[in-house]
Structure 1
Amino acid sequence: MSERKTIAETLHNGVSIVFDVDDVLYQDGTGHHQLALIRNGIFGKVLMLDGAVQVTSRDEFMYHEMLAHVPIAAHDNPADVLIIGGGDCGLAEEVLKHKRVGALTQVEIDASVLEFSKEHFADFNASVFDDPRFRVEIADGAAFAAETDQRFDVILVDSTDPSGPGAVLFTTEFYRNLKRILRPGGIVVSQNGVPFLQPEEFQTAMRGLRSVFEIASCYLVAVPTYFGGHMTLGWSTDNAETLTVSEETLAQRMAGIDTRYYTPLHHRASFALPRFIETLLEEATK
């Protein structure tokens, strides 16, 4: 009988999740990350960076649809969109489904992650690389936000967790730079973790966002591989109208776009927070 092969995610102290490994498709260091790609019987291809699950081919649509469609559908003219991070390009795929998006810039620190994802996740990102609206800049996301002269209507921060190279993307200075490059009425959405397992990280991020933006809250998405309960996506803007767009208008803006998770009704419902997350938000700004 062959020995069972497993790999564990070790992101959270005190708990881990173990995946059966049907095949090891790739394993190496990239210079910025320790990267592993495995095949699992339930989740398909599973990409792990530094011991944390980044994306799986089975449930990537849940996270990417909500990160992309909620802000873009809420914005009345999302002509220029910026993605910071998002090396698997699943988010870019969802953004480019919107014909109202005229240009998408993606800033990724590690070119090898892009090339890797282009090879191994073509089932959901192949269309991105043939779209003339898509432009990649290999650069540090925090430095780009501090230095660029470009301006954007929607900014999506698809970052790793707040440790190692990704920690700088959770600082107040970074959030100030995002506001600097955001056009009036624009929206910033950021990956803010799982509050049940990361309450301090969640509060630190929200405290920083609320110190910079007039409106800073979050909405929810459930992604099986990001275990620990609700995942929060930070919502930052100075335009209160983006939070009150009608279901009918959202449906019009999403017309012709096929989704498996997002609906206009769920868009609005995702901003209804459980009490414990509301409490963490309140405590963060006292």
Structure 2
Amino acid sequence: MTDMTGWSVERLHEDHSQALRVERVLYEDATGHQRLRVIENPTFGRVLTLDGVVQVTERDEFIYHEMLTHVPIFAHGTAKRVLIVGGGDGGMAREVLRHPVGSVTMVEIDAGVIDFSREYLPAISDGAFDDPRLEVVIADGADYVRRTEGGFDVIIVDSTDPVGPGEVLFTDHFYGHAARALAPGGILVTQNGVPFLQPEELRGTMRAFSQIFADATCYLATVPTYAGGAMAFGWGTDGDARRTDMADLSRRVAASGLTFGYYSAEVHKGAFALPPYVAKLLP
């Protein structure tokens, strides 16, 4: 990411970029794994970047975190054990812990991300790190999934893009180990970038999912921070949770007593309706 006269320019794509005006740099440092930076922007509030790529902003993080969390948990209906791979900012844990789950394990490779997120982005975790149901494991997510005894009802892969430390989380081996770590009827969901600009990212995941799961597809949400259109989330399960009818899904949401900024039962169902340019990336 390069600053030019007060602008922070992302270089994730070869021929496309986005820029955010920098009001203030709050934090900048390199850990053993990544370069961390927090800036303030008038529209998006505090913005976290890793190696120059925007990861999360205070203003629109709720969309990403709600859709990766509540879609699988409400679809499952009785999730008690949840694994989050990545998610060092704490937003995913925050949303999962709004449900009456018994335990949440969060595996994050970089303790530095957690430490400075708690200090500089506390609104995102909103106390999640203090919840006794949350176990934080500092380890390589791929290695943890390979070694775990499993039994998870939902696994959420909140990874960075498939470069650097996050690259291994997009491999066939990782997906196979994650599938083995699911309990019967369990659901694996993954972040798969913006299909309009990153089609191969989704295509690769869907190819692997189709070989592993009885039900393999993706669903969409529009997150303003991630330029290029709707963002895709991979979905894999051997159960029939995606086919939960609208009446049952609406009852589950109403019974939870939870309120949301983006998620709803209607959005949940509609998110699986894929435009042709996305659908053609699936096997």
Name the TM-score, length of structure 1 as normaliser. 0.95
Q: Distance in 1 between matches of 2:30 and 2:130?
A: 28
The residue identity in structure 2 corresponding to 1:252 is R
Q: What's the CA shift string for 1:219-262, capped at 9, x where partnerless?
A: 001000111001000000011x2111122322332231110100
The answer to whether structure 1 residue 89 and structure 2 residue 90 are counterparts is yes
Q: Distance in 2 between matches of 1:147 and 1:102?
A: 21
Q: Distance in 2 between matches of 1:76 and 1:280?
A: 29
Q: Distance in 2 between matches of 1:238 and 1:182?
A: 10
The answer to whether structure 1 residue 250 and structure 2 residue 249 are counterparts is yes
The residue identity in structure 2 corresponding to 1:62 is I
The residue identity in structure 2 corresponding to 1:120 is Y
The residue identity in structure 1 corresponding to 2:43 is I
Matched with 1:192 is: 192
Q: Distance in 1 between matches of 2:251 and 2:135?
A: 27
Which 5+ residue runs of structure 1 have no aligned equivalent? none
Q: What's the CA shift string for 1:116-151, capped at 9, x where partnerless?
A: 111112123132022111110000000001011232
The residue identity in structure 1 corresponding to 2:246 is E
Q: Distance in 2 between matches of 1:206 and 1:138?
A: 28
Matched with 2:128 is: 128
Matched with 1:273 is: 274
Output the aligned Cα RMSD.
Answer: 1.1
Q: What's the CA shift string for 1:142-194, capped at 9, x where partnerless?
A: 00010112320000000000111111000000011001110110000000111
Q: Distance in 2 between matches of 1:149 and 1:278?
A: 34
Q: Distance in 2 between matches of 1:250 and 1:104?
A: 23
Matched with 2:154 is: 154
Equivalent position SS for 1:280: coil
**Shift >6 Å, 4+ stretches:** none
Which 5+ residue runs of structure 2 have no aligned equivalent? none
Q: Distance in 2 between matches of 1:236 and 1:204?
A: 13
The answer to whether structure 1 residue 207 and structure 2 residue 204 are counterparts is no
The residue identity in structure 1 corresponding to 2:128 is V
Q: Distance in 1 between matches of 2:193 and 2:150?
A: 28
Maintained 8 Å contact 1:172/1:212: no
Q: Distance in 1 between matches of 2:75 and 2:232?
A: 17
Could you tell me how far 1:31 is from its partner in structure 2? 1.1
The residue identity in structure 2 corresponding to 1:133 is R
Maintained 8 Å contact 1:155/1:188: yes
Q: What are the within-5 Å matches in structure 2 for residues 1-286 of structure 1?
A: 4-99=5-100, 101-239=101-239, 241-254=240-253, 255-281=256-282, 285=283
Q: What's the CA shift string for 1:84-134, capped at 9, x where partnerless?
A: 0011110110111111x1110000000110111111121231320221111
Q: Distance in 2 between matches of 1:247 and 1:133?
A: 30
Maintained 8 Å contact 1:68/1:91: yes
Name the TM-score, length of structure 2 as normaliser. 0.96
Q: Distance in 2 between matches of 1:251 and 1:280?
A: 30
Q: Distance in 2 between matches of 1:48 and 1:133?
A: 28
Aligned length: 278
Could you tell me how far 1:67 is from its partner in structure 2? 0.5
% identical equivalent positions: 52
Q: Distance in 2 between matches of 1:180 and 1:267?
A: 26
Q: Distance in 2 between matches of 1:117 and 1:52?
A: 16
